[in-house]
Structure 1
Amino acid sequence: MLTHINEKGYAKMVDVGDKENTKRTATAKASILVNKEIIDKILNGQVKKGDVLSVAQVAGIMGAKNTPMNIPMCHQINLVGCDLDFNIDEKENIINIYATCKSVGKTGVEMEALSAVTIAALTIYDMCKAIDKKMVIKDVHLLEKSGGKSGNFKF
């Protein structure tokens, strides 16, 4: 049975009102493949638009907070925490982005974590596109989640 379809076949938001509040956590990852010049400019604070990773950090948090505005069937949840981490692989010219989101509520935070890493990657692209437009955002996926009826998941 499809949970997001009503008896007439139209889209609906699932009613989670009877579910118990539980502590929930989700961690997602995205990667952006860039060139060596971009890596060097980020590491040396030479990107003209500013501190790329600091701006991407804030953008990722905003992305998590605004998830239900962008994903039609997502519930507005009480995010109690969101943090991003960046790992620059200078050998492969990849910036790996990790986001962990936490809530206490009736539904999970997977979409918020996925939104956070995606918006952070798009922000890096936006801030560095004057240097090179061939950047590739890839490998967006959920790493793990805990809490709720479906329990724990690890990729």
Structure 2
Amino acid sequence: MWLVGGAGALVLGLLATLAVKQRRTEFGVLLALGEKKWKLVAQQAVETVVIAALAIGLSSLFAQSLTQLAGDTLLRDEAAAAQRKINAWQPPPPGSTGVQEGIDPDDEPVQGADPIDKITVRLDPADLATVAGIGLGIGLLATAIPAASALRLNPRTILTKGN
């Protein structure tokens, strides 16, 4: 989970860096007109928060049903694979351990076992809030760092050297 989160944060940071880099000229013009640097960073942060709020809202509407559908599909596929394995299992020939044939005699299917045929996926508001908070934090950090680095430059430097 941490690896996926780290990779997502890295991708988000790279996308935010590209977005800020494309807007360097805009920042240079606004700074030359007297706009405060903190207002430009705040504008970037507000844009990120608005997009994140929309994404969190949409995901909270659809996450439960999509996750349940994915869980049911995975369970159905796993049950079908287990059934194929049960149907294909053959005991070792008489007088043999089955090792030479690649058969594990201890791998015999359990008779009368109650298979799992239903899975219930639940999305708690606390879990959604945790994920939303982490995502929002990553988004703000990924926006603020490149914006702050772009704003270190002098407006004259931004406008004369371009990208």
User: Larger % of strand: which?
Assistant: 1
TM-score by length of 1: 0.29
User: Larger % of helix: which?
Assistant: 2
Larger RCO (CA within 8 A; separation ≥ 6): 2
TM-score by length of 2: 0.28
